[in-house]
A and B are shown apart, each in its own frame.
Chain A
Amino acid sequence: MGSTQLPPGTEESLAATTALAAAPGEPTEMVQLLGPDGALGSDPIFSDYAKRIDPEKLRVFYTDMARIRRFDQEATALQRQGELALWVPLTGQEAAQIGSGHASQPQDYIFPTYREHGVALVRSVDLAELLKQFRGVSNGGWDPRENNFHLYTLVLAAQTLHAVGYAMGIQRDQKAAAATESSDPKAAVIAYFGDGASSEGDVHESMVFAASYNAPVVFFCQNNHWAISVPTEVQTKVPLANRAKGYGFPGIRVDGNDVIAVHAVTEWALEHAREGRGPVLIEAYTYRVGAHTTADDPTKYRESAEEAAWREKDPLDRLEKYLRAEGLADEAFFEQVKADGDELAKYVRSTTHGLEVPDIRDAFASVYAEQHPLIAEELAWFEEYSAGFESDQEAAN
């Protein structure tokens, strides 16, 4: 009875997915293709998707993961030196972000949280722009329409609803396009969030809406095990991927430190969504190796042994092992990657120093899209007030 009420296509998808989350209490299968030892395994569904990744693409994955890790180190250093007010490190989550980001197509639209620096890199956002928010010179920084990469959202999970609404818009656009036999490529949306945010009501509502309207959206949850100081067990008693079942769409847990599996699973999910078969939840099982932010102190709430165990599963190390073992990259490649990373760090550092401090008049100008008398009145007062200082200054001179 229940299954007959599922959205079209879901039943087949559910059956086709080996890694569907198990019922509460049952062990949940996790899709893993590249193990920590650098050996490539197989999966009845996702190996076919992994085969699409050619050696050049694998080297790009490695390069991007290394670049974003180097960027993360540089940004952390910039914060320590007082150049940034705060930094939100991503180290440990590179595979989850680079793998999923590369699975997206230009026409797809991404709604990040505030830690998706790796996805931003893949979407060609200027990383120096990304630092504006953390330097206190902008609340956004980039034009989301240029790369279909939305601004960071700091209010947890709020963006998951925006993602579903955006996907509902895509649905309508595609319906209109079909009527005119347009050849625009089909699009989907990715909504990023974390294990902590999974407890927010907006995640629930977004999944309800997505399921009801069969919206082309992929919910990409990076379970990094810690919501600041609170472990995932406090957020959920079942694997997060299992929750999808309750909404009537597929849920997949993937090894979030395995860039090949993440890419394969996300590509599958995006195709599923683009083809009108509805939403998918991906739980990327990963670990936040560093602090929540530079204001956090993980030694207060977790054991270093746990961190050490996760370092053994490092996403870069395992891909390096694989590339070397398969002869897909030589020493010169890795040296070049390191040099590129240092170059990026240098660029980011110098650009950060040069980030222009905005004028508060820009803030007045952007509150409303249309003319607003109170804004005009307060700006006029501010100009007059500021001019008073200037004339005092002139008098003193």
Chain B
Amino acid sequence: MATMTIAKAINEGLRATLTGNPKSLLMGEDIGHLGGVYRVTDGLIKEFGDDRVLDTPLAESGIVGTAIGLALRGYSPVCEIQFDGFVYPAFNQITTQLAKIHARSLGKLTVPVVIRIPYGGGIGSIEHHSESPEALFAHNAGLRIITPSNAHDAYWMIQKAVECQDPVIFFEPKRRYWLKGEVDVQNPGLSADPFKAHVVREGSDATIVAYGPLVPVALAAANAAVEDGRSIEVIDLRSISPLDFDTVEASVKKTGRLIVAHEAPTFGGIGGEIAARISERAFLHLEAPVIRVGGFHMPYPVAKVEEDYLPDIDKILEALDRSLAY
């Protein structure tokens, strides 16, 4: 067991990947000598050289497009997109090419590309640096989307993402980069499957589903609810596509109440998808409508008001109150 931050855990996970898989390589803007704007790739260029850790030209479509070509040649590229709001120039390559090559070749070609994206707000940053675009990618078949919320998961999930033969978008909760946790580098345990949700707190009165940066918030809300005598279950989704509806369904069948929290706008989001599926699978078990807690239908607001935008403990508790009073 070692204690490390999420950023360090990803760094160590990438180091393990580069060591174990000679076809793996990292590419992105400023990821080499600088070690990435969040230092997630710190020191890797020194260790593995610039053939394996590439400081690329400043062009997101170029990064993903050339990664696809490298994957077609048998490589396993891990791309870094510097910030969530800058992934859009690569959106065409990701959705029309990367997501579809396996399908359009009827499985003859695989493109095991991993795209790391630091995402989410809460760091007081400027425009385009705080977004949560996961739903835009989740809507595209052919992609897998995962997001860790703790250091142990971060260490193992990045390695599993590279091993996966499908393209994986790896959303990194940037405001939790410095969150420390225990990492077992010998044994992945439950982290071995990156596509399964984890029940991170058991409870009986209601379920909160969250992922990435909001998992600690959901846990804090659940702990606060104890004061009111409430027993709240918390699920860390971990994977957004595929989405582990079985784990959510089982929990809802137990608690009868479901809150889904994410930073992304609720409209057209992952919460809506979960609400729809759970209403199909567990309608008669629901004691209240599924409630979503998320961003408003607006461009991510300026940093000085982002606290009003972001889901926090109070917003989740308010949703719990509504659900439990229904």
Shortest Cβ gap from A171 to chain B (Å): 8
Q: CB-defined interface of B143-158 with A at 8 Å, one 1/0 digit per residue?
A: 0100000000000000
Q: Are A161 and B73 in contact (CB under 8 A)?
A: no
| Cβ 8 A contact of A165, one of B65, B104, B107 | B65
Q: Are B105 and A140 in contact (CB under 8 A)?
A: yes
Q: Is A52 an interface residue (CB 8 A)?
A: no
Q: Are B92 and A158 in contact (CB under 8 A)?
A: yes
Known: A205-B61, A368-B102, A374-B242. A162 touches B110 (CB 8 A): no
Q: Are B108 and A169 in contact (CB under 8 A)?
A: no
Q: Is B234 an interface residue (CB 8 A)?
A: no
Q: Are B141 and A161 in contact (CB under 8 A)?
A: no
Q: Is B255 an interface residue (CB 8 A)?
A: no
Which residues of B67-116 are within 8 A (CB) of A? 67-75, 77, 89, 92-93, 96-97, 100-110, 112
Q: Are A172 and B59 in contact (CB under 8 A)?
A: no
Q: Are A368 and B57 in contact (CB under 8 A)?
A: no
Which residues of A359-385 are within 8 A (CB) of B? 362-363, 365-370, 372-374
Q: Are B103 and A158 in contact (CB under 8 A)?
A: no
Which residues of B49-70 are within 8 A (CB) of A? 51, 56-57, 59, 61-62, 64-70
| Cβ 8 A contact of B106, one of A140, A158, A202, A372 | A140
Q: Is A168 an interface residue (CB 8 A)?
A: yes
A138 to B106, CA, bound (A): 8
Known: A144-B105, A365-B107, A369-B166. A164 touches B66 (CB 8 A): yes
A388 to B104, CA, bound (A): 29
Contact residues in B for A173 (Cβ distance below 8 Å): 73
A169 to B77, CA, bound (A): 10
| Cβ 8 A contact of A158, one of B96, B164, B166 | B96
Question: Considering only CB atoms, which chain A residue lies closest to B99 in the complex?
Answer: A367
Q: Are B59 and A208 in contact (CB under 8 A)?
A: yes
Q: Are A175 and B51 in contact (CB under 8 A)?
A: yes
Q: Are A166 and B57 in contact (CB under 8 A)?
A: no
Q: Are B61 and A172 in contact (CB under 8 A)?
A: no
Q: Are B70 and A161 in contact (CB under 8 A)?
A: no
Which residues of A146-173 are within 8 A (CB) of B? 150-151, 153, 155, 158, 160-170, 172-173
Contact residues in A for B74 (Cβ distance below 8 Å): 169
Q: Are B107 and A169 in contact (CB under 8 A)?
A: no
A208 to B65, CA, bound (A): 12
Q: Is A9 an interface residue (CB 8 A)?
A: no
Contact residues in A for B103 (Cβ distance below 8 Å): 139, 363, 366-367
A212 to B66, CA, bound (A): 12
Known: A163-B69, A175-B51, A370-B164. A158 touches B97 (CB 8 A): yes
Q: Is B142 an interface residue (CB 8 A)?
A: yes
Question: Considering only CB atoms, which chain B residue lies closest to A368 in the complex?
Answer: B166
Known: A155-B96, A155-B97, A158-B92. A209 touches B62 (CB 8 A): yes
Q: Are B73 and A166 in contact (CB under 8 A)?
A: yes
Q: CB-defined interface of A168-183 with B at 8 Å, one 1/0 digit per residue?
A: 1110110100000000
Q: Is A201 an interface residue (CB 8 A)?
A: yes
Q: Are B164 and A166 in contact (CB under 8 A)?
A: no
Q: Is B293 an interface residue (CB 8 A)?
A: no
Known: A162-B97, A208-B62. A366 touches B70 (CB 8 A): no
Q: Are B59 and A209 in contact (CB under 8 A)?
A: yes
Interface SS of chain A: helix
Q: Are A155 and B104 in contact (CB under 8 A)?
A: no
A172 to B73, CA, bound (A): 10
Known: A209-B62, A368-B166. A168 touches B70 (CB 8 A): yes
Q: Are A369 and B102 in contact (CB under 8 A)?
A: yes
Which residues of A330-371 are within 8 A (CB) of B? 362-363, 365-370
Q: Is B266 an interface residue (CB 8 A)?
A: no
Q: Are B106 and A166 in contact (CB under 8 A)?
A: no
Q: Are B73 and A368 in contact (CB under 8 A)?
A: no
Q: Are A366 and B107 in contact (CB under 8 A)?
A: yes
Known: A161-B93, A374-B243. A369 touches B59 (CB 8 A): no
Q: Are A165 and B69 in contact (CB under 8 A)?
A: yes
Most buried by A among B62, B72, B108, B112: B62
Most buried by B among A160, A205, A370: A205
Q: Is B223 an interface residue (CB 8 A)?
A: no
Shortest Cβ gap from B9 to chain A (Å): 24
A370 to B243, CA, bound (A): 15
Contact residues in A for B59 (Cβ distance below 8 Å): 205, 208-209
Most buried by A among B59, B96, B105, B164: B105
Q: Are A161 and B69 in contact (CB under 8 A)?
A: yes
| Cβ 8 A contact of A370, one of B70, B71, B166, B245 | B166
Q: Are B69 and A169 in contact (CB under 8 A)?
A: yes
Shortest Cβ gap from A374 to chain B (Å): 5
Q: Is B279 an interface residue (CB 8 A)?
A: no
Contact residues in B for A165 (Cβ distance below 8 Å): 65-73, 77
Q: Are B108 and A368 in contact (CB under 8 A)?
A: no
Contact residues in B for A143 (Cβ distance below 8 Å): 105, 108
A172 to B59, CA, bound (A): 22
Known: A144-B108, A208-B59, A365-B107. A372 touches B65 (CB 8 A): no
Shortest Cβ gap from B8 to chain A (Å): 28
Known: A158-B65, A209-B66. A370 touches B165 (CB 8 A): yes
In the complex, besides A162-B72, A372-B242, 8 extra interface pairs with C-beta distance below 8 angstroms are: A139-B100, A158-B97, A161-B64, A165-B68, A166-B73, A169-B70, A206-B62, A366-B106
B-side residues, CB < 8 A to A, are 25, 51, 56-57, 59, 61-62, 64-75, 77, 89, 92-93, 96-97, 100-110, 112, 141-142, 144, 164-166, 241-246
Can you report 12 residue pairs joining A to B where beta carbons are below 8 Å apart?
A140-B105, A151-B105, A158-B93, A161-B93, A162-B68, A163-B69, A169-B74, A169-B75, A206-B62, A367-B102, A369-B107, A370-B165
